[in-house]
Chains A and B, each alone.
Chain A
Amino acid sequence: MLVRFWGTRGSLPVAATASIVQDKVAHALLAASGRSFADIEEARSFARNELDFATSGTFGGATTCVEIEAGDPANGDPYIICDMGSGLRGFGLDAMRRCGQGHARVYHFFMSHLHWDHIMGFPFFVPAFDPNAHIIIHAGHEDAEEALRRQQEEISFPVKFDWLRAKIEFRTLKVGETYQIGAVQVELMEQHHSHSSFGYRFTDAEGKVVVFSTDSEHKMDRMEGEADVEQFFGNADLVICDTMYSLADSVSMKEDWGHSSNIVAIDLCHGGRAKRLALFHHEPVYSDADIARMHAESVRYEELTREHDPLEVLCAYDGLEVSL
């Protein structure tokens, strides 16, 4: 099983400005002071291996889109995609390339919810214009079709939903059921968020488990219900979890904004004995340095509160691939 992150930012796409890039270049030049490089490859190697990630790279700015590659795509297993944020555009282009190499043109989407940042990529999803593509949109919500059609009405977008050429289906999934879809078994869990959201647990034939749990607030006055969340995260190889705010923000100024914290995500993963956590749905006002600091603090909190096997804490970024 392979997990590819196409969009990891929360709420709103962001992009680096000229001054942000200049700042990274300045830090890189300082770090390289006194050194010379024989060629671009040597310089690339320095950037990749010796600079910190916030200087040499970026966590990216595309909104939620995660691909789960399971089974054997070379032998017809379909695409599995969580959410349609702005990161979906990049996935769609890459999927067309892979389809040209023989990948099945079947796309199973699993929608956490229907807020704008989680559906805004669909009008730019090139495979939707492919008459040979089959797109199945799975959601816990019954109004998924309405949400996708509405954003392509003329007042918002020039291309109507009905002009799309792919065969598009909508399927409503129920909590408590287990579905075999493509190369994975899928279960879902309802989460606390405006208009509700759903987390998904994917299990492949080898028993590898990925949990996708974004836009989920774990309320202070419902802490007794967290045992169910820990069970849903139970023994997962990877939990992708909303960690948008600090715990203090999530219980004060940003309470009821529908999001979680790095601290609660780690506690839930510890409780469920998960193996890896990917910090996800990054706050759009955070710089790369802010996210890197949050990641380092999360790793430290995990160490401080660990009672069993270590939980590996990753920080998702646009382009990250995690092999399970």
Chain B
Amino acid sequence: MQWSSTEQQGCVVASPDGRVDEATAEAFTEHLAASVTMAADSPGKKLIVDFAGLDYMSSRGLRALTLAKRQADAAGVAMALARPNEVMREILAISRYDKLFAVTDSIEAAI
């Protein structure tokens, strides 16, 4: 799994690439945890996970998002999901994760 992080207007934007399944879920979880830590030290105290490069995500990835959100809540970091493709948007709706997370069409809208 490819992963890159940038800072935009004081917020950490984390950009995973590929698919999150059984084989990549552990790496995804670790990258998320590191990104939350990075966001806790950022001025905006916000982590935006940019879904634009994600093909799809199984329940393991979704549950990793929940674990990251708990870590984020404890650290006072807000979390948002941005730019999901159509497949990811459907998965977020079917799992009702769109009720747990703010989901936006752009990075700017999430900032």
**Residues of A in contact with B (beta carbons under 8 Å apart):** 220-221, 223, 246-249, 251-252, 261-264, 266-267, 271, 297-298, 300-301, 304-305, 307
Contact = CB atoms under 8 A, between A and B. Distances in A.
A304 B87 contact: yes
Interface residues of B, number: 20
Nearest to A248: B96
Contacts of B99: 248
A247 B62 contact: yes
Contacts of B67: 220-221
Which secondary structure characterizes the binding site on chain B? helix
Contact of B90 (A223, A264, A304, A307): A304
The 6 A-B residue pairs with the shortest CB-CB distance in the complex, in nearest-first order: A248-B96, A246-B96, A247-B95, A297-B94, A220-B63, A263-B59
Which secondary structure characterizes the binding site on chain A? helix
Given A263-B95, A304-B91, A247 B56 contact: no
B86 to A, nearest CB: 10
B78 to A, nearest CB: 17
Interface in B63-111: 63, 66-67, 87, 90-91, 94-97, 99-100
Interface of B: 21-22, 25, 56, 58-60, 62-63, 66-67, 87, 90-91, 94-97, 99-100
Contact of B95 (A220, A246, A271): A246
A267 B59 CA distance: 7
A221 to B, nearest CB: 8
Contacts of A298: 94
